């Protein structure tokens, strides 16, 4: 009887090859396996495969803003491991974006701990969703995000959620991608009352949406441009940047290894106003 039960258990176990689990599937139109997306995961490939945009416009509607006056930030996911958020705060980090979800099935395993500990350390933080436009509708992914970490509250420490767009065009035309993004935006705003932040690079946005201007009056821009320049290149269709990811190889106390470093375009009062949705 024992041998028979043991045989049955073995039969029900998932098959493995040479002791290695099967690799995560790659969604259509993407080179990034499901669950492995993070801010910057597709940046280099997008810059290589798509035509670059070298247009540079400084942050803020009023014009140039010194990088010395901006607020320092980071973005993280499970790739950063366990984070000492008190040390991160002491290192001068004012804000962080933390990966929450991907598609409609994946939640980052470190999100809950990071989100809570960042809050306790008084780091203003927001959640982000790694978009998978080839797998389901914008509305479906926005609902999953809002229900699994992407919600918002006016508590001085919560930024609006962010939509991470990179890693190829998912087989969609520019008009279809525009519709997908708007679907996500409308659903997220109906759920949370906030305009979703959009993270993207000039190469991705200009190619996959055709340099669409339809989100410039709706969503703050989080631009990806890894450079030592004093201002980033920004996508066509946006007049200025609000957040800027300027490197993927930063170093911050409390985090082992490299971490993405970011800037916010204004001072601490403007960061707080964005978090609380106040003028």
Model pLDDT for residues 58-112, shown as the tens digit of each residue: 444 333 344 556 899 999 999 999 999 999 999 999 999 999 999 999 999 999 9
Task: Reply yes or no on whether the pLDDT at 129 is more than 90.
Answer: yes
Q: Give the pLDDT score at 59.
A: 45
Q: Which run of H or E residues covers position 139? A: helix 138-147
pTM for this entry: 0.88
Q: Give the pLDDT score at 15.
A: 38
Q: How confident is the model at residue 24 (pLDDT cuts 50, 70, 90)?
A: confident
> φ and ψ at 172, to 5 degrees?
-100, 145
Distance CA 25, CA 142 (A): 22
Task: Reply yes or no on whether the pLDDT at 9 is more than 90.
Answer: no
Describe the crossing of helices 174-192 and 138-147 by its angle, rounded to 10 degrees: 30
What angle is formed at CA 268 by the lines to CA 243 and CA 82, rounded to 5 degrees?
65
User: Long-range contacts: 249-254, Cβ < 8 Å, 24+?
Assistant: 250/74, 252/74, 252/88, 252/91, 252/93, 253/84, 253/87, 253/88, 253/90, 253/91, 254/83, 254/84, 254/85, 254/86, 254/87, 254/88, 254/90, 254/91
Distance CA 78, CA 81 (A): 5
The mean pLDDT of the chain is 89
Q: Which residues are catalytic?
A: 75, 164, 166
Q: How confident is the model at residue 53 (pLDDT cuts 50, 70, 90)?
A: low
CATH of 48-251+265-276 among 3.20.20.80, 3.40.50.150, 3.40.50.880, 3.40.140.80: 3.20.20.80
Q: 56: alpha, beta or left, given left = phi > 0 and alpha = psi -120 to 50?
A: beta
Task: Reply yes or no on whether the pLDDT at 14 is more than 60.
Answer: no
Provide the 3-class DSSP secondary structure of residue 246: strand
The DSSP letter of residue 201 is: -
Q: Give the pLDDT score at 2.
A: 39
> φ and ψ at 129, to 5 degrees?
-115, 125
- Average pLDDT rounded to a whole number, residues 183-195: 98
> φ and ψ at 224, to 5 degrees?
-100, 115
Q: Give the pLDDT score at 4.
A: 45
Q: Give the pLDDT score at 23.
A: 66
């Amino acid at each position: 009887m024992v041998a028979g039960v043991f045989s049955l258990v073995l039969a029900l176990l998932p098959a493995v090859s040479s002791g290695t689990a099967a690799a995560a599937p790659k969604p259509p139109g993407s080179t990034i396996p499901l669950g492995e997306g993070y801010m910057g995961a597709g940046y280099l490939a997008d810059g290589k495969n798509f035509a670059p945009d070298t247009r540079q416009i400084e942050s803020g509607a009023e014009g140039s803003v010194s990088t010395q006056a901006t607020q320092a930030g980071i973005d993280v996911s499970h790739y950063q491991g366990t984070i000492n958020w008190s040390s991160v705060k002491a290192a001068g980090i004012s804000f962080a974006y933390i990966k929450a979800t991907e598609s409609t099935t994946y939640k980052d395993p470190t999100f809950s701990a990071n989100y809570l500990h960042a809050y306790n350390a008084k780091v203003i933080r927001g959640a982000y969703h790694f978009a998978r436009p080839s797998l389901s509708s914008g509305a479906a992914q926005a609902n999953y995000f809002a229900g699994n970490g992407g919600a918002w509250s006016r508590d001085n420490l919560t930024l609006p959620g962010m939509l991470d767009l990179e890693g190829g065009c998912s087989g969609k035309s520019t008009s279809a991608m525009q519709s997908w993004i708007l679907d996500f935006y409308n659903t997220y705003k109906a759920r949370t009352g906030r305009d979703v932040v959009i993270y993207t690079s000039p190469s991705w946005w200009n190619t996959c949406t055709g340099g669409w201007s339809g989100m410039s009056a709706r969503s703050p821009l989080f631009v990806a441009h890894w450079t030592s320049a004093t201002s980033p290149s920004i996508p066509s269709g946006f007049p200025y940047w609000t957040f800027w990811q300027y490197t993927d190889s930063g170093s911050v106390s409390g985090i082992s290894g490299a971490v993405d470093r970011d800037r916010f375009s204004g001072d601490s009062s403007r960061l707080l106003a964005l978090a609380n949705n106040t003028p």
